[in-house]
């Protein structure tokens, strides 16, 4: 397998970095992040090693849901800049070799969007069926209510027109009706507009709700996703859809497009993420190992997206109540740390008590797992949450560039955390000068990950580990092999790993100096410290580890 081939399918071993323009960097001194500020930090992102930026919504909005309530899909929020600023940002990102994708939030609009204002003007409105209306709404299923702290129904009565409209999320976010061909055509135009300005794809918000909550029900809801993908491929062959599909594996596979892979290009692995947290809570790798063994292989040219934390709550909805309580007890015992009864509103470093060994282990695990790693801004320096903020906003605080915050010349509109994760203790400037910092660890992990394409492209095999605390797996592809071992426990251990096909080979540690020999019987003795990790490149005797992956060159 050649790197020229892997680069065509860039998303299979990309490093995706999610950020909110509003909280990343203020370029004009008004206390709000903007595209000018983001452009000033492109070299930082390129130096970190990320290959794709995912932008959270940057469109005009009443801002009742942090920008996910949109009033115009064709403009930039004036608080964040102009279309000209956006184009300059895109040009600079492309110049540094970075691709950019953006949130595609077309499950709903703001109730202040001109489409909805026209739709609710009367039952005979030409845009009436752009949304989902009903005289007698269906009975509410408590399981369908996404925000039980704010809503008790997914239907809202409209006094003006005497009907109820559907809102999967907040009542100020009426659902679009993609059963209407005119709505589907408009969504295509939105995609085409931003792709002409340089985007390489979109992260699709709440995909199942997008195609299921429509009227009338579609004969095959997935046809719309296939149409979206086909449209994007016609406009730009290397574009992608990154899907938020929080479903069990068996139900999720249809969103890839079954065996064809012609719908969502990359799907987040919510099941694997939640089992990873259960494993870390227990100090026992077996839940994660079981999930990796059970996870289906995506269709050819598709990929899984791996993550430990995103911009929403840390959802634990695919676990049993007992398992969820284990994680709450370990990482968020206080009620203010929990949200919706199903998740945590904390960042990873706070959940791990600021223990740098455990934090570094967690991210080593993330980058070693088969799939495309996705990280949330500030993870690379170990930013913490601010529980004084409401709901999900606890993890959406301003990026911490310097001891004084460094966000801009004015005080940021949003508060920064206090205490052990305050900017004076956690910031980019200090960690750049510290060879042992989390930032430098991230740079090393990303560099090694990009040097080892078999991690994302190869065949992953979870190895039988004699130590329950250790996840050991190997990735084989293109004639190259990586062996990965992570100790989730707080006790050092030595263990024997059986590695068929590698008899007599050498294992070189890519994260630290050191080599291991594999016996003629195919057994390697691997030592791991408490919360230790090893990335081991296999090579035949007499061959350098760099040349062991030559088939990828």
Catalytic residue among 26, 156, 205, 284: 205
Alpha helices (runs of H) in 332-488, residue ranges in sequence order = 348-351, 356-368, 428-432, 438-451, 454-457
Q: Which helix (H) or strand (E) holds 389?
A: none
* 133-134/16-19 β-pairing: unpaired
Contact 186, 80 (CB under 8 A): no
In DSSP terms, which residues pair with 99 in a beta bridge?
Answer: 52
Catalytic residue among 65, 244, 386, 467: 244
Determine if residue 160 is left, alpha or beta; phi over 0 gives left, psi from -120 to 50 gives alpha, anything else beta. Answer: alpha
CB atoms within 10 A of CB 295: 18
Largest CA distance in the chain: 80
Please confirm, yes or no, whether 244 is among the known catalytic residues.
Answer: yes
Cα gap 16→268, rounded to integer Å: 12
> Which CA distances in Å does 384 have to 188, 378, 544?
38, 8, 41
DSSP 384-429: ---TTS-GGGGG-PPP--BTTB-S-SS--SS----GGGSTTTS-HH
Tokens at 530, concatenated: 């408490």
> How far, in whole angstroms, is CA 482 from its chain's centroid?
24
In DSSP terms, which residues pair with 402 in a beta bridge?
Answer: 405
Tokens at 497, concatenated: 């790993």
Cα gap 82→76, rounded to integer Å: 6
Please confirm, yes or no, whether 26 is among the known catalytic residues.
Answer: no
Catalytic residue set: 205, 244
């Amino acid at each position: 397998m050649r790197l020229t081939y892997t680069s065509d399918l860039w998303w299979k071993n990309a490093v995706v970095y999610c950020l909110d323009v509003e909280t990343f960097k203020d370029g004009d001194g008004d206390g709000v992040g903007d595209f000018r500020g983001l452009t000033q930090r492109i070299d930082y992102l390129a130096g970190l090693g990320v290959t794709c930026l995912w932008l959270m919504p940057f469109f005009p909005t009443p801002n009742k849901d942090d920008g996910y309530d949109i009033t115009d899909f064709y403009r930039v929020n004036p608080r964040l800049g102009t279309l000209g600023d956006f184009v300059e940002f895109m040009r600079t990102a492309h110049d540094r070799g970075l691709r950019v994708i953006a949130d595609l939030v077309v499950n709903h609009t703001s109730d202040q969007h001109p489409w909805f204002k026209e739709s609710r003007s009367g039952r005979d409105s030409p845009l009436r069926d752009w949304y989902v209306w009903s005289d007698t709404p269906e009975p509410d299923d408590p399981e369908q209510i996404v925000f039980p702290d704010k809503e008790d129904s997914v239907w809202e009565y409209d006094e003006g027109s005497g009907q109820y409209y559907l809102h999967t999320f907040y009542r100020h976010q009426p659902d679009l009706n993609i059963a209407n061909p005119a709505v589907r055509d408009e969504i295509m135009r939105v995609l085409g507009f931003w792709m002409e300005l340089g985007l390489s794809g979109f992260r699709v918000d709440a995909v199942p709700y997008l195609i299921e909550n429509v009227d009338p029900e579609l004969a095959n809801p997935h046809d719309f996703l296939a149409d979206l993908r086909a449209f994007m491929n016609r406009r730009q062959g290397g574009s992608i859809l990154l899907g938020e599909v929080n479903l069990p594996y068996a139900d999720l596979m249809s969103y890839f497009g079954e065996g064809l892979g012609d719908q969502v290009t990359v799907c987040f692995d919510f099941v694997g993420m939640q089992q990873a947290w259960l494993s870390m809570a227990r100090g026992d790798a077996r839940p994660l190992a079981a999930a990796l063994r059970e996870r289906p292989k995506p269709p050819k040219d598709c990929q899984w997206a791996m993550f430990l934390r995103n911009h929403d709550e840390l959802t634990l909805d695919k676990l049993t109540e007992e398992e969820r309580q284990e994680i709450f007890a370990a990482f968020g015992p206080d009620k203010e740390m929990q949200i919706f009864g199903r998740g945590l509103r904390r960042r990873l470093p706070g959940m791990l008590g600021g223990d740098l060994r455990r934090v570094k282990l967690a991210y080593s695990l993330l980058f070693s797992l088969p799939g495309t790693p996705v990280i949330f801004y500030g993870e690379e320096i170990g930013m913490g949450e601010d529980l004084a903020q409401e709901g999900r906003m606890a993890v959406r605080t301003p990026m911490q560039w310097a001891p004084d915050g460094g966000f801009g010349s004015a005080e940021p509109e949003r508060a920064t955390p206090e205490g052990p994760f305050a900017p004076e203790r956690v910031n980019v400037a200090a960690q750049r000068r510290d060879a042992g910092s989390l930032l430098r660890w991230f740079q090393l992990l990303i560099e090694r990950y990009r040097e080892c394409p078999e991690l994302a492209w190869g065949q992953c095999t979870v190895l039988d580990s004699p130590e329950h605390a250790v996840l050991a797996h190997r990735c084989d592809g293109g004639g190259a092999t990586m062996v990965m071992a992570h100790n989730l426990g707080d006790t050092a251990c030595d263990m024997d790993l059986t590695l068929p096909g590698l008899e007599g080979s050498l294992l070189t540690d890519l994260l630290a100096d050191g080599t291991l020999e594999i016996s003629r019987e195919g057994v390697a003795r691997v030592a791991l410290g408490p919360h230790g990790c090893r990335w081991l490149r296999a090579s035949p005797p007499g061959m350098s580890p760099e040349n062991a992956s030559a088939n990828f060159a």
